[in-house]
Amino acid sequence: MSEYSLESFVAKRRQNDAEHDYFELETPQLLEINLNNQFVWAKNGSMVGYVGNIKFEREGMLSGGIGNFLKKSLTGEGAKLMKAKGTGRLYVADGGKKVQILQLNNESICVNGNDILAHDQTVNNQITMLKSVAGMMSGGIFQVKLSGTGHVAITTHGDPLVLMVTPDKPVFTDPNATVAWSGNLSPELKSNMSFKSFIGRGSGEEYQMKFSGEGWVLIQPYEEVYFQQS
């Protein structure tokens, strides 16, 4: 059989039926979720295929009150999740970004709302905001706190890097390159006015996130700008 024959291509790329993990990477950019009469939350529009009997319901990240306000006014489509319920194999992806699978064990993390791909039904989500958001001109001003026990899948542009935060060494990051951080940290949003004056008002570098305390921050080698929808 030729290395480049159609048969060879299919054999190399076909689904591996021997793998049945709940959350499983089929490729670095493609997540497989094996459902057994249960449901998961997945990012709206992330479904690229499924096998079995799975139904989808579109819902907001939160329902009612401030959750609806945040969803409509700030987060755009990036904050919306759909419920996937049933039995079968669900395949989700997001713009070719790399997928990172995390297992929470009675723990919490904060994730940029646009970078959540999916999470287990046993994991709670709560939209939170930075204390100072008035000056933010681009998206990415909100985050979602995920807490509990279960699987979480987040996405990054390229290979991410974890920066450790210690009491004597705070970490500063670009909001548009910041993906996630440990749930015990409470970042501040700071404005660098001198930098703003030097390069003009349009740049995102005039804003920085400051992480103090004890924990970690996940950054990606890409500044992702989010567009709000009217």
Q: What is the pLDDT of residues 86-111, one digit of tens each?
A: 999 999 999 999 999 999 999 999 99
CA distance 101 to 104: 10
32 pLDDT more than 90: yes
CA distance 69 to 71: 5
How much of the chain exceeds pLDDT 70, in percent?
A: 74
Q: What is the pLDDT of residues 165-206, one digit of tens each?
A: 999 999 999 988 999 999 999 898 877 655 544 444 444 567
Please give the pLDDT value at position 58.
82
Name the range with the highest mean pLDDT among 8-17, 136-145, 147-156: 147-156
The torsion angles phi and psi of 45, rounded to 5 degrees, stand at 80, 5
Q: Which tops the pLDDT comparison, 144 or 141?
A: 144
pTM for this entry: 0.81
CA distance 53 to 89: 9
Superfamily name with CATH number, domain 6-157? Mitochondrial biogenesis AIM24 (3.60.160.10)
**Domain extents for the chain?**
6-157
Q: Which tops the pLDDT comparison, 21 or 20?
A: 21
Q: What is the pLDDT of residues 106-131, one digit of tens each?
A: 999 999 988 999 999 999 998 877 65
Q: Tell me the mean pLDDT in the region 148-159.
A: 96
Q: Tell me the mean pLDDT in the region 69-90.
A: 70
